[in-house]
Chains A and B, each alone.
Chain A
Amino acid sequence: MTNSWIDIKNTDCCLIIGSNAAEHHPICFKWVLKAKEERGAKIIHVDPKFSRTSARSDFHVPLRSGTDIAFMGGMIKYVLDKELYFKEYVNDYTNASYIVNPKFSFNNGVFSGYNPQTKIYDKSSWQFEKDEKGAVKRDPSLKNPNCVFQLLKKHYSRYDLSKVSSITGVSTENLVKVYEAYAATGKRDKAGTILYALGWTQHTVGVQNIRTSGIIQLLLGNAGVAGGGVNALRGEPNVQGTTDHAILYNILPGYLPLPRANAQTLADYNKATTPKTVLAESINWWGNRPKYMVSFLKAYFGKNATKENDFGYAWLGKGDVPKSERDGDYSFLYCYEKMMKGEMKGGSIWAHNPCQSIPNSNNIRKALTNLEFMYSAEIHHNETTDFWHSPGIDPKKVKTEVFLFPSCHRLEKEGSISSSQRMIGWHYQAAKPSGKSKAMGQIMIEIMNEVIDLYKKEGGVFKEPIVNLNWYKKYDADVVAKRISGWFTGGPNKGKQLSGFADFKDDGTTASLMWLAAGSVTEEENRLKRTSLAQTPLQKKVGIFPNYAWTWPMNRWILYNRASVDKNGQPWDPSRTIIRWDGAKWEGDVADGGQPPLSKEGGKNPFIMLPDGLGQLYGTGLVDGPFPEHYEPTETPVTNHGFSGQLRNPCAKIVPGDKIAPAGDPKYPIVLTTYSLTEHWCGGSETRMVPALLEAEPQLYVEMSHELAKEKGIKNGDPVILESIRGEVEAVAMVTVRIVPFKVQGKTVHLVGMPFAFGWTKPGIGDATNRLTLYTGDPNTSIPEYKACQVNIRKADKVTELSYEEIKVEEHHG
Chain B
Amino acid sequence: MAKTFFIDTSRCTACRGCQVACKEWQGFEANYTKQLGWGSHQNPQDLNPLNFKLVRFNEFKDKDRVIWNFFPDQCRHCTEPPCKLAADGEVKGAVVVDKATGAVIFTEKTKKISKEGFLMMKEYCPYNIPRRNEKSGIINKCDMCLERVEKDLLPMCVKTCPTGAMNFGDRDKMLALAYERLAIVKKEFPDAALLDVDSVRVVYLITHKRDMYHNLAMLDENSKTGALA
So, do A and B actually touch in the complex, CB under 8 Å? yes
Give chain A's interface residues, CB within 8 Å of chain B.
22-23, 26-27, 29-30, 33, 37, 50, 52-56, 60, 678-679, 691-701, 716-719, 732-738, 799, 802-809, 811-812, 814
Contact B30 A691 (CB under 8 A): yes
Query: Given A22-B15, A26-B17, A29-B163, A734 and B66 touching (CB < 8 A)?
Result: no
Contact B66 A26 (CB under 8 A): no
Contact B164 A732 (CB under 8 A): no
Nearest B residue (CB) for A58: B188
Query: Given A696-B16, A737-B59, A802 and B30 touching (CB < 8 A)?
Result: no
- What residues on B are CB-neighbors of A60 within 8 Å? 66
Contact B35 A717 (CB under 8 A): yes
Give chain B's interface residues, CB within 8 Å of chain A.
11, 13-17, 19-20, 23-24, 27-41, 43-44, 59-61, 66-70, 162-164, 184, 229
Nearest A residue (CB) for B22: A692
Residue in contact with B41 in the complex, picked from A697, A719, A805, CB distance below 8 Å? A697
Task: With both chains docked as a complex, state the minimum distance between the C-beta of B110 and any C-beta of chain A, in angstroms.
Answer: 22
Cα separation A29 to B229 with both chains bound (whole Å): 23
Nearest B residue (CB) for A28: B162
Contact B24 A692 (CB under 8 A): yes
Residue in contact with A50 in the complex, picked from B14, B40, B68, B164, CB distance below 8 Å? B68
A to B CB contacts below 8 Å, 13 in the list: A52-B68, A692-B28, A698-B35, A717-B38, A718-B39, A733-B39, A736-B59, A737-B59, A737-B60, A738-B59, A802-B36, A804-B37, A812-B28
Contact A804 B36 (CB under 8 A): yes
Nearest B residue (CB) for A51: B68
Contact A701 B35 (CB under 8 A): yes
Cα separation A731 to B32 with both chains bound (whole Å): 18
Cα separation A699 to B60 with both chains bound (whole Å): 24
Residue in contact with B34 in the complex, picked from A699, A737, A811, A814, CB distance below 8 Å? A699
Contact B29 A812 (CB under 8 A): yes
Which interface residue of B27, B38, B39 has the most chain A CB atoms within 10 A? B39
Contact B30 A695 (CB under 8 A): yes
Residue in contact with B164 in the complex, picked from A30, A54, A692, A803, CB distance below 8 Å? A30
Contact A809 B32 (CB under 8 A): yes
Residue in contact with B66 in the complex, picked from A691, A738, A807, CB distance below 8 Å? A738
Residue in contact with B15 in the complex, picked from A678, A700, A738, A805, CB distance below 8 Å? A678
Contact A807 B34 (CB under 8 A): yes
Query: Given A55-B13, A737-B60, A694 and B68 touching (CB < 8 A)?
Result: no
Nearest A residue (CB) for B69: A55
Cα separation A60 to B59 with both chains bound (whole Å): 15
Nearest B residue (CB) for A732: B35
- What residues on A are CB-neighbors of B24 within 8 Å? 692, 814
Cα separation A23 to B70 with both chains bound (whole Å): 13
Cα separation A701 to B40 with both chains bound (whole Å): 9
Task: With both chains docked as a complex, state the minimum distance between the C-beta of A686 and any C-beta of chain B, in angstroms.
Answer: 14
Cα separation A54 to B164 with both chains bound (whole Å): 18
Query: Given A26-B15, A735-B229, A809-B30, A698 and B43 touching (CB < 8 A)?
Result: yes
Nearest B residue (CB) for A173: B64
- What residues on A are CB-neighbors of B229 within 8 Å? 716, 734-738
- What residues on B are CB-neighbors of A54 within 8 Å? 66, 68
- What residues on B are CB-neighbors of A27 within 8 Å? 162
Cα separation A514 to B124 with both chains bound (whole Å): 65
Q: A678-B15, A699-B34 are in contact. List 20 more A-B contacts (CB 8 A).
A: A23-B15, A50-B66, A50-B68, A53-B13, A54-B68, A55-B70, A692-B20, A692-B24, A697-B41, A698-B33, A699-B36, A732-B38, A734-B39, A736-B229, A737-B60, A738-B68, A806-B33, A807-B32, A811-B29, A812-B28
Contact B39 A732 (CB under 8 A): yes
Contact A734 B60 (CB under 8 A): no
- What residues on B are CB-neighbors of A811 within 8 Å? 29
- What residues on B are CB-neighbors of A732 within 8 Å? 35-36, 38-39
Residue in contact with B13 in the complex, picked from A56, A691, A695, A735, CB distance below 8 Å? A56
Query: Given A30-B163, A695-B31, A808-B32, A37 and B184 touching (CB < 8 A)?
Result: yes
Task: With both chains docked as a complex, state the minimum distance between the C-beta of A639 and any C-beta of chain B, in angstroms.
Answer: 28
Cα separation A799 to B34 with both chains bound (whole Å): 14
- What residues on A are CB-neighbors of B33 within 8 Å? 694-696, 698, 806-807
- What residues on B are CB-neighbors of A736 within 8 Å? 59, 229
Cα separation A56 to B30 with both chains bound (whole Å): 29
Cα separation A754 to B168 with both chains bound (whole Å): 37
Residue in contact with B36 in the complex, picked from A23, A717, A737, CB distance below 8 Å? A717
Task: With both chains docked as a complex, state the minimum distance between the C-beta of B66 and any C-beta of chain A, in angstroms.
Answer: 5
- What residues on B are CB-neighbors of A735 within 8 Å? 39, 229
- What residues on B are CB-neighbors of A26 within 8 Å? 13, 15, 17, 162
Cα separation A699 to B39 with both chains bound (whole Å): 9
Contact A734 B162 (CB under 8 A): no
- What residues on A are CB-neighbors of B28 within 8 Å? 692, 812
Contact B39 A717 (CB under 8 A): yes
Task: With both chains docked as a complex, state the minimum distance between the C-beta of B132 and any C-beta of chain A, in angstroms.
Answer: 19
Task: With both chains docked as a complex, state the minimum distance between the C-beta of B144 and any C-beta of chain A, in angstroms.
Answer: 20
Query: Given A698-B33, A807-B32, A734 and B68 touching (CB < 8 A)?
Result: no
Contact B30 A692 (CB under 8 A): yes
- What residues on B are CB-neighbors of A29 within 8 Å? 13, 15, 162-163
- What residues on B are CB-neighbors of A691 within 8 Å? 29-30
Contact A701 B162 (CB under 8 A): no
Nearest A residue (CB) for B184: A37
- What residues on A are CB-neighbors of B66 within 8 Å? 50, 54, 60, 737-738
Contact A678 B16 (CB under 8 A): yes
Cα separation A763 to B135 with both chains bound (whole Å): 26
- What residues on B are CB-neighbors of A56 within 8 Å? 11, 13
Cα separation A23 to B14 with both chains bound (whole Å): 8
Contact A734 B30 (CB under 8 A): no
Task: With both chains docked as a complex, state the minimum distance between the C-beta of A706 and any C-beta of chain B, in angstroms.
Answer: 9
- What residues on A are CB-neighbors of B20 within 8 Å? 679, 692-693, 696
Task: With both chains docked as a complex, state the minimum distance between the C-beta of A233 and any C-beta of chain B, in angstroms.
Answer: 15
- What residues on A are CB-neighbors of B163 within 8 Å? 29-30, 33
Which interface residue of B28, B67, B68 has the most chain A CB atoms within 10 A? B68
Task: With both chains docked as a complex, state the minimum distance between the C-beta of B134 and any C-beta of chain A, in angstroms.
Answer: 16
- What residues on B are CB-neighbors of A701 within 8 Å? 35, 39
Contact B14 A699 (CB under 8 A): no
- What residues on B are CB-neighbors of A738 within 8 Å? 59, 66, 68, 229
Task: With both chains docked as a complex, state the minimum distance between the C-beta of B88 and any C-beta of chain A, in angstroms.
Answer: 33
Cα separation A694 to B163 with both chains bound (whole Å): 24
Contact A33 B11 (CB under 8 A): yes
Query: Given A692-B23, A717-B35, A735-B229, A22 and B13 touching (CB < 8 A)?
Result: yes
Contact A696 B43 (CB under 8 A): yes
Task: With both chains docked as a complex, state the minimum distance between the C-beta of B6 and any C-beta of chain A, in angstroms.
Answer: 15
- What residues on A are CB-neighbors of B59 within 8 Å? 736-738
Which interface residue of B20, B30, B32, B70 has the most chain A CB atoms within 10 A? B30
Query: Given A55-B68, A696-B19, A716 and B36 touching (CB < 8 A)?
Result: no
- What residues on A are CB-neighbors of B60 within 8 Å? 737
Cα separation A736 to B59 with both chains bound (whole Å): 8
Cα separation A468 to B211 with both chains bound (whole Å): 72
- What residues on A are CB-neighbors of B17 within 8 Å? 26
Residue in contact with A717 in the complex, picked from B13, B16, B32, B37, CB distance below 8 Å? B37
- What residues on B are CB-neighbors of A734 within 8 Å? 35, 39-41, 229
Task: With both chains docked as a complex, state the minimum distance between the C-beta of A636 and any C-beta of chain B, in angstroms.
Answer: 25
Task: With both chains docked as a complex, state the minimum distance between the C-beta of A26 and any C-beta of chain B, in angstroms.
Answer: 4
Residue in contact with A737 in the complex, picked from B30, B38, B61, B162, CB distance below 8 Å? B61
Cα separation A44 to B19 with both chains bound (whole Å): 27
Cα separation A692 to B48 with both chains bound (whole Å): 13
Cα separation A806 to B36 with both chains bound (whole Å): 9
Nearest A residue (CB) for B67: A55
Closest 8 CB pairs of A and B: A806-B32, A691-B30, A717-B39, A26-B15, A699-B35, A732-B35, A695-B30, A716-B39
Contact B14 A52 (CB under 8 A): yes
- What residues on A are CB-neighbors of B162 within 8 Å? 26-27, 29-30
Cα separation A716 to B227 with both chains bound (whole Å): 12
Task: With both chains docked as a complex, state the minimum distance between the C-beta of A373 and any C-beta of chain B, in angstroms.
Answer: 37
Task: With both chains docked as a complex, state the minimum distance between the C-beta of B61 and any C-beta of chain A, in angstroms.
Answer: 4
